[in-house]
Amino acid sequence: MEKHTPTQRVFDSSNLIVYIYDKRKPLLIVTLVAIVLAAVFSAPYFIPPLYKSTVTVFPTTTNSLSKALLPQQFASRGQDILEFGAEEEAEQLLQILNSDEIRDRIIEKYHLLRHYDIDTSGRYTKTELYKTYESNISYRRTEYMSVEINVLDTDPDTAALIANDISFLLDDVKNRIQKDRAKKGLGIIEGEYFALKNEIKAYENSLTELRYKGVHDYETQSAVLNEQLATALIENPRGGAVQQIENKLDTLAKYGGTYVSLRDELQYLKEELVRLKTKYDQAKVDVSETLPASFKVNMAFPAEKKSYPTRWLIVAIAALSAFVFTLIIILVLDTIKQSRLK
């Protein structure tokens, strides 16, 4: 029958409980010491408690206020300003939330360099400040396509204020980005609109000059004068009326083509002006008016209980780690001892 060596018995799982019981004193002592140390060093004196505040927002689908609210005469159906955004819009909000502009404005407003107690004389002051900021302020997209703004701080009131301010800065930054683009668009449309108005005015002045020369409505005048000429030729071929009618027809022949060309071009330009006027009005609305960039589901409030550290979890992990580590050390020492005896 096969015999087990002492070393084999040490690592035999069937005897592990017995082995642990035999070594219970050092295991219990080390575990209790770890529990006490973990409880002491996780106290607020060593680890300042952090309070968590959260703001939940939903993205909107509306990018252009004018297209959402103004009549769309020459475009497709406008957007619904009450519609919730989807994954793409949520990702856009996350990008804006992670922008330098929001971070720097929060840092400046709440004096986070001093609030986080960061050494200003160090070489990597900004790096340390930004890392602390990112560890305390985070954003995530939920499974419902909303975006959560989570802020941890040693002061529950400050955490709530920062979270709410970030949600408002989100609207400001997105509207500012869109307004910058809208202003450039307005400048282009405005230039085109007034240039077209001046061109139309020049065409109207040219038509006015032709009217002074007797060309008012080329097609109607030609038909009437030809009818009058035929009548005059029948009644008195050598009369002065025939000569007068022929002079008017000569004027029509001289300026009629120009009149028709100017009139048709003017009609086309006025139609273009109506289209351009619609875009011009839309651009002015986009520059002058704004809508919130998100739907605020809930606002942050000062937390009553701390979120970090979780002392019982720290103590439990420390106790388990100490127990396992001590057990491994004892097993290693026993194995070495048995090997030497063998």
Assess whether pLDDT exceeds 60 at residue 7. no
Residue 253 confidence (pLDDT): 73
Residue 293 confidence (pLDDT): 76
CA torsion sign, 223 to 227 to 228 to 233?
positive
294 versus 13: the higher-pLDDT residue is: 294
Residue 101 confidence (pLDDT): 93
211-221: b or e for each residue (b if 16 or more CB lie within 10 Å)?
A: eeeebeebeeb
Residue 6 confidence (pLDDT): 47
Residue 3 confidence (pLDDT): 46
Percentage of the chain beyond pLDDT 70 is 80
75-104: b or e for each residue (b if 16 or more CB lie within 10 Å)?
A: eeebbeeeebbeeebbebbeebbeeeebbe
Percentage of the chain beyond pLDDT 90 is 25
What's the pLDDT band for 218 if we cut at 50, 70, 90?
Answer: low
pTM of the model: 0.66
Instruction: Report how far apart the first and last C-alpha atoms of the chain are (Å, whole number).
Output: 21
- Listed range (37-41, 116-120, 231-235) with the worst mean pLDDT: 231-235
pLDDT, mean of residues 216-241 = 68
Q: Distance of CA 186 to CAs 52, 180, 199, 287, Å?
A: 43, 10, 20, 8
